[in-house]
């Protein structure tokens, strides 16, 4: 089921410069959501911005009926979002899209997250650990002030490795270097990736070479967010091998790395 609801904001607090965490009371959505899915959020009571904003579900608490979002203020919509006060209402549609998947066979997996792409990997890690997997959480950011949610991964019990561009926290370098190391030392059954496009491309390349199955979460500008407008497509190889477009909002945002085609 997909819902279009007014939900109550329980919390909306700054967690890092530019990053906010918002908790919504949305039991219907929390009951059905899976990691990797997202919501389409109305950021203003007026007709500007006109389009809703896609924000991934970062944590799902089905028991308490809450959904946590983590977002970065980058433009007018997220700015309006950051000004909303707990107790007020916000219109959301969701849960949308196909989330991450895992199979019973998998034993050791890695999640690779960069920037605000780390957000949806929290819920994923929680589920993977519940399912008894060993999880490497490889997190990257420009600097310490932009590194999201690392303590959640530690609390959950993942093996956390961190890289920052300037070395202000964790290793100096890219998160892909961490992945390379893990691949070289450990037999990974699956990699999950969410982050900026250059990172995603590098992760796809590495896992392909290492023959490790990989799932990537993609972003594209969205109109409807539900699959109706064909606005958010990405190029994929169809089963017969020809190129075609799939909808990030509906067929994704999570794709297997083998099907997506990146333009250079």
Ligand X SMILES: Cc1cc2nc3c(=O)[nH]c(=O)nc-3n(C[C@H](O)[C@H](O)[C@H](O)COP(=O)(O)O)c2cc1C
Return residues touching ligand FAD (CB under 6 A). 38, 49, 53-56, 70-72, 74-78, 116, 119, 219-222, 253
Name the CA dihedral angle for 119, 206, 222, 153, rounded to a multiple of 10 degrees: -10
User: Under the criterion CB under 8 A, does residue 49 sit at the interface with a second copy?
Assistant: yes
Q: What number of chain residues touch another protein (CB under 8 A)?
A: 33
User: Under the criterion CB under 6 A, does residue 230 sit at the interface with ligand FES?
Assistant: yes
By residue count, the chain amounts to: 264
Q: In terms of CB distance, is 93 or 118 closer to ligand FES?
A: 93
**Binding to a second copy in span 125-164, by CB under 8 A:** none
User: Under the criterion CB under 8 A, does residue 103 sit at the interface with a second copy?
Assistant: no
Q: In terms of CB distance, is 31 or 154 closer to another protein?
A: 31
Q: How far apart are CA 220 and CA 209, in angstroms?
A: 26
User: Which of the 8 DSSP states describes residue 250?
Assistant: T
Residues 225-254 as x/- pattern, contact with ligand X by CB under 6 A: ----x-x-----------------------
Q: In terms of CB distance, is 96 or 212 closer to ligand FAD?
A: 96
Q: How far apart are CA 226 and CA 2, in angstroms?
A: 9
Q: In terms of CB distance, is 40 or 179 closer to ligand FAD?
A: 40
User: Under the criterion CB under 8 A, does residue 184 sit at the interface with a second copy?
Assistant: no
User: Under the criterion CB under 6 A, does residue 228 sit at the interface with ligand FES?
Assistant: yes
Torsion sign, CA atoms 212, 195, 37, 119: positive
User: Under the criterion CB under 6 A, does residue 52 sit at the interface with ligand FES?
Assistant: no
Residue 44 site contact among a second copy, ligand X, ligand FAD, none (CB < 5 to 8 Å, cut-off depends on kind): a second copy
Q: How far apart are CA 147 and CA 113, in angstroms?
A: 10
Pair type for strands 190-194 and 108-114: parallel
User: Under the criterion CB under 8 A, does residue 73 sit at the interface with another protein?
Assistant: no
Residue 220 exposed, middle or buried by CB count within 10 Å (0-12, 13-18, 19+)? middle
Cβ within 8 Å of residue 181, ≥6 positions away: none
Task: Give residues in contact with ligand X (CB under 6 A).
Answer: 223, 229, 231
């Amino acid at each position: 089921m997909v819902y279009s609801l007014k939900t109550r904001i329980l919390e909306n607090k700054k967690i890092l410069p530019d990053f906010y965490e918002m908790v919504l009371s949305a039991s219907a959505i929390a009951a059905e959501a899976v990691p990797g899915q997202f919501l389409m959020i109305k950021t203003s009571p007026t007709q500007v911005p006109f389009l809703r904003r896609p924000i991934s579900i970062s944590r799902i608490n089905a028991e308490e009926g809450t959904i946590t979002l983590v977002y970065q203020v980058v433009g007018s919509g997220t700015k309006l979002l950051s000004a909303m006060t707990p107790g007020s209402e916000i219109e959301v549609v969701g849960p949308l899209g196909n989330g991450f998947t895992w199979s019973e066979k998998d034993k050791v997996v890695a999640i690779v997250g960069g920037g605000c792409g780390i957000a949806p990997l929290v819920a994923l890690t929680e589920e993977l650990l519940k399912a008894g997997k060993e999880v490497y959480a490889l997190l990257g950011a420009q600097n310490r002030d932009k590194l999201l949610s690392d303590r959640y991964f530690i609390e959950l019990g993942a093996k956390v490795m961190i890289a920052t561009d300037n070395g202000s926290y964790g290793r100096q370098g890219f998160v892909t270097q961490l992945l390379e190391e893990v691949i070289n030392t450990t037999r990974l059954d699956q990699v999950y990736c969410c982050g900026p496009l250059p990172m995603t491309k590098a992760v796809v390349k590495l896992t392909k070479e290492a023959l490790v199955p990989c799932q990537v979460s993609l972003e594209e500008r969205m109109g409807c967010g539900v699959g109706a407008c064909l606005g958010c497509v990405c190029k994929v190889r169809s089963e017969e091998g020809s190129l075609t477009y799939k909808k990030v909002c509906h067929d994704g945002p999570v794709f297997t790395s083998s099907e997506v085609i990146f333009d250079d």
